[in-house]
Chains A and B, each alone.
Chain A
């Protein structure tokens, strides 16, 4: 009995810590999400939102060929970005985790965080100058008698934009994951004669699997919903789901149809997140 009260207080302690984020999420994520779903059943009459409960918006969007085209295109681009960014980030993260000294690592972290201080929109606009037909890359190619290569308004340019957005973050998450790898395992592998390159695949990657998968998942999530790169670098050609949302709103104030697209995106993101999380934490099959 004497220990009853302190134990209860200890139980309340973590609850008090977790309450603010819970309230925050309920207020600014769950509530708007419920509203978003609700609004997808409204109607628009003469550019004015009207409360209703009709399934016309869902039928219209889900019967539109352009919606499926946009969905496949968006999913493909986000998947490509997740794979490319994971591959590009890994050597840098590996070097920083295992080879670089503490000072180099700290400096690198500062440089990786710095891009977040500058506007993403400005960075994307500056990429236009680099990728344009008369831009820096094509001018350089012209000097050696090559090009011009069309890069702007292509999916390539969109993925370049996605990489600008996600690469620093993915390197940081991978670095965090690799820093947790027990270096004694690598030494053991080395002592047992496993070549360093092979050890990366047999020891490092399996050990950091959860973090590496989640880093790639971040790469997918951020690019799946991005609006800026597909618009300013991809030239909306073809449109992604986020552009489709903007189009529905700006062309007719059609928030309900935009909500249908948005809800579909949220469901997709949750499904991908759950799938990747279960993959990340999946145990190896028993022998």
Chain B
């Protein structure tokens, strides 16, 4: 199928040659750092991902080695990703980065293909991630884990203390009235509230528990400061519009704290939710070898280290060699990201049993949870 690329002229060399012919303007741009990052490659690897994964800081060495451009179509939320996959012609994307709970839907829709475990460095993974449930379906590998993190309660440290955020109950406190923000995605937000309601399996609840969850959710309406996209989640915590946000975690606060914003994230006593991001090869891709090489790079020590420090949002990585390289080359970052071997680290929290793996709703359909979320937004 012919692929329509509105920016094809950019990579075909005509524009480049014209530029290189000596345009004074380009010279000035290049001198001031405003020009193209580097000459664009002839070939592209198209990936469908959460924002930031095609950042040169992450994929630069892969692009250099293979002489390709990694081009990303970005999405926020698994349903958004599935929608994009469904409405795109086969071959639009070579690799998809998905949260674990959506891999099964990608498989069932015939969008991704089985992967050979021998192609990937499973020996390098910490034991917790070697057979991660959502990535292995019917004992076959469909997705390779890249990174993970925990979701609980993010908060501004100048508004709330560490003790106050030990429970999700703080969200109903007068102190944060009009200051509870929400990441505009039903799944993590409602998952955390389901934990607050005492559901051991936060996404596998019967209809009575779901009604109770709606009641809990709706009771937060007077506390709400707003519903935020990914960029707005960062800015609302920075501006102070949101004093706390449930259903997000280190992936938002680590970068903000690094920039001096008084924020932190915690997993309250009721528990937290684990998110994972993994990569699959699209069944319709015409560049499957390149796609495989890309995933191999992303699971290598260097790819893992760079992914952990990804400028858009940091994360924990499941690769032991990745941890080792991070500690050797960026010891300060390893401490900040809590991925050191000697001190308490991110894997300790997982071992404590407070973390539940995020899933799509089990006893209700996605639409039912989504509608509850939409209803909540309108209250």
Give residues in A with beta carbon < 8 Å to B.
46-49, 64-66, 69-70, 128-129, 132-135, 150, 152-153, 231-232, 234-239, 244, 247, 249-253
Q: Which residues of A contact B374 (CB under 8 A)?
A: 64, 66, 239, 244, 247, 251
- Let me know if B186 and A152 touch, CB within 8 A: no
Q: Which residues of B contact A152 (CB under 8 A)?
A: 225-226, 236, 239, 241
| Chain A residue at smallest Cβ distance from B235 | A128
- Let me know if B229 and A231 touch, CB within 8 A: yes
- Let me know if A153 and B225 touch, CB within 8 A: yes
- Let me know if B83 and A150 touch, CB within 8 A: no
- Let me know if B241 and A65 touch, CB within 8 A: no
| Chain A residue at smallest Cβ distance from B227 | A236
- Let me know if A135 and B239 touch, CB within 8 A: yes
- Let me know if B79 and A251 touch, CB within 8 A: yes
Q: Looking at the assembled complex, report how far the CB atom of B373 sits from the nearest CB atom of chain A, in whole angstroms.
A: 8
- Let me know if B82 and A253 touch, CB within 8 A: yes
| Chain A residue at smallest Cβ distance from B77 | A250
Q: Looking at the assembled complex, report how far the CB atom of A114 sits from the nearest CB atom of chain B, in whole angstroms.
A: 23
The DSSP consensus for interface residues of chain B is helix
Q: Which residues of B contact A247 (CB under 8 A)?
A: 374, 377
Q: What string of 1s and 0s marks CB contacts (under 8 Å) between B63-96 and chain A?
A: 0000000000000110110110111000000000
* Given A128-B239, A150-B178, A244-B374; A47-B82 close (CB under 8 Å): yes
Question: Of B76, B184, B366, which one neighbours A236 at CB under 8 angstroms?
Answer: B184
Q: Looking at the assembled complex, report how far the CB atom of B235 sits from the nearest CB atom of chain A, in whole angstroms.
A: 6
- Quick check: is B13 within 8 A (CB to CB) of the other chain? no
CA A239 to CA B109, docked complex, whole Å: 32
CA A15 to CA B87, docked complex, whole Å: 40
| Chain B residue at smallest Cβ distance from A237 | B226
Interface residues of B in 207-254 (CB under 8 A from A): 224-229, 232, 235-236, 239-241
- Let me know if A235 and B241 touch, CB within 8 A: yes
Q: Looking at the assembled complex, report how far the CB atom of A227 sits from the nearest CB atom of chain B, in whole angstroms.
A: 12
- Quick check: is B30 within 8 A (CB to CB) of the other chain? no
- Quick check: is B57 within 8 A (CB to CB) of the other chain? no
- Let me know if B83 and A153 touch, CB within 8 A: no
What is the size, in residues, of chain B's interface with A at 8 Å between Cβ atoms? 38
Q: Which residues of A contact B225 (CB under 8 A)?
A: 150, 152-153, 235, 237
CA A253 to CA B371, docked complex, whole Å: 13
| Chain B residue at smallest Cβ distance from A133 | B240
- Let me know if A252 and B83 touch, CB within 8 A: yes
CA A66 to CA B108, docked complex, whole Å: 32
Question: Of B181, B228, B235, B370, which one neighbours A251 at CB under 8 angstroms?
Answer: B370
- Let me know if A236 and B226 touch, CB within 8 A: yes
- Let me know if A66 and B378 touch, CB within 8 A: yes
- Quick check: is B379 within 8 A (CB to CB) of the other chain? yes
Interface residues of B in 340-379 (CB under 8 A from A): 366-367, 370-371, 373-375, 377-379
- Let me know if B226 and A134 touch, CB within 8 A: no
Q: Which residues of B contact A132 (CB under 8 A)?
A: 239-241
Q: Which residues of A contact B367 (CB under 8 A)?
A: 252
- Let me know if B239 and A251 touch, CB within 8 A: no
Kindly list the 9 A-B residue pairs having the minimum CB-CB distance in the complex, ordered from nearest. A235-B226, A153-B226, A132-B239, A253-B83, A66-B378, A133-B240, A236-B227, A69-B378, A47-B82
* Given A251-B77, A252-B370; A238-B377 close (CB under 8 Å): yes
A129, A150, A252 interface centre (most CB from chain B within 10 Å): A252
* Given A66-B374, A237-B224, A237-B377; A250-B80 close (CB under 8 Å): yes
- Let me know if B186 and A251 touch, CB within 8 A: yes
Q: Which residues of B contact A48 (CB under 8 A)?
A: 86, 109
* Given A128-B235, A234-B226; A65-B378 close (CB under 8 Å): yes
Given contacts A65-B375, A232-B232, 9 further A-B contacts (CB under 8 A): A46-B109, A47-B82, A47-B86, A48-B86, A152-B239, A250-B76, A250-B80, A251-B79, A253-B87
Q: Looking at the assembled complex, report how far the CB atom of B56 sits from the nearest CB atom of chain A, in whole angstroms.
A: 24
Q: Looking at the assembled complex, report how far the CB atom of B371 sits from the nearest CB atom of chain A, in whole angstroms.
A: 8
Q: Which residues of B contact A49 (CB under 8 A)?
A: 86-87
Q: What string of 1s and 0s marks CB contacts (under 8 Å) between B151-186 and chain A?
A: 000000000000000000000000000100100101
